[in-house]
Amino acid sequence: MMKGYTNPTFISYPIAAPLLLLLLTPFTTGLPLRRPLPPPQTNPTTTDFIKTSCSTTEYPTLCVATLIAYASKIKTNPTELARTALSVSLDHARRASASMSRLSSSTMGALKPREAVALRDCMETLGDAVEELRSSLSEMDHLRGQNLGFRISDIQTWVSAALTNEDTCMDGFDEGVGGGGGGERVEGWVKSVVSGEVVKVARLTSNALALINGLVSTTSPQ
């Protein structure tokens, strides 16, 4: 080895360790840390308004849980609150109707006649409920000016009819219970699936109807 020559690739450990730490520092402490985004702020006044309004419904916990996400849109507007509740109910009714259709297709030929008829009837009544909720939501867009009380009355009628259809959906299954035979086990499974979809829709619709009924006391007669 030449006198005075030092291998440039070799760095003794006491020197290499601090140098390595210095090189890594910009990547560990020098870069600005991205702070997590704060959760969306909800106006306490709006939250209280939703909770107070939902306390008049039959299922207040479900009411608050489904509407609080729309607080920034609802603010403290009773009409917007009722419209949003109705929209949520319609959305769930549509999804339940689609679920019933998939269930009918997947169980074709596997159900007894009574079970198949009950499922078919449920699909029909739930489809009627969807149409009634859609008509109600459309009418909500015209809650202004003259004939306000008349329009609210129409909405109440449609939503009440939708709620009746949702309840009727389960009638065929209830009538089949106790029929005896090996069909009870399959019927119980199908009824459980249908009930899981329909009961929530009925409760959401019940809440929406209560909030719509509340509009009567917040609007002046025309």
The whole-chain average pLDDT of the chain stands at: 79
Q: How confident is the model at residue 42 (pLDDT cuts 50, 70, 90)?
A: low
Q: Mean pLDDT throughout 43-59?
A: 93
Identify how many contiguous H helices and E strands the chain contains and give both numbers: 9, 0
pLDDT band for position 39 (50/70/90)? very low
Measured between alpha carbons, how far is 142 from 187 in angstroms, rounded to an integer?
A: 44
CA-atom Rg of the chain in angstroms = 30
Q: What is the pLDDT of residues 52-91, one digit of tens each?
A: 999 999 999 999 999 999 999 999 999 999 999 999 999 9
CA dist 40 and 7 (Å) reads 60
Supply 118's token pair.
């009950």
Angle formed at CA 54 by CA 37 and CA 144, multiple of 5 degrees: 95
Token readout for 2 is 């030449």
Residues of the chain above pLDDT 90, percent: 48
Q: Is the pLDDT of residue 40 over 90?
A: no
**Whether the predicted pLDDT of 109 surpasses 60:** yes
Residue type for 24, please?
L
Q: What is the pTM of this model?
A: 0.74
pLDDT for res 8: 47
pLDDT, position 145: 64
Contact in structure between 86 and 133 (CB atoms under 8 Å): yes
Ordered domains of the chain (ranges, CATH):
44-218 (1.20.140.40)
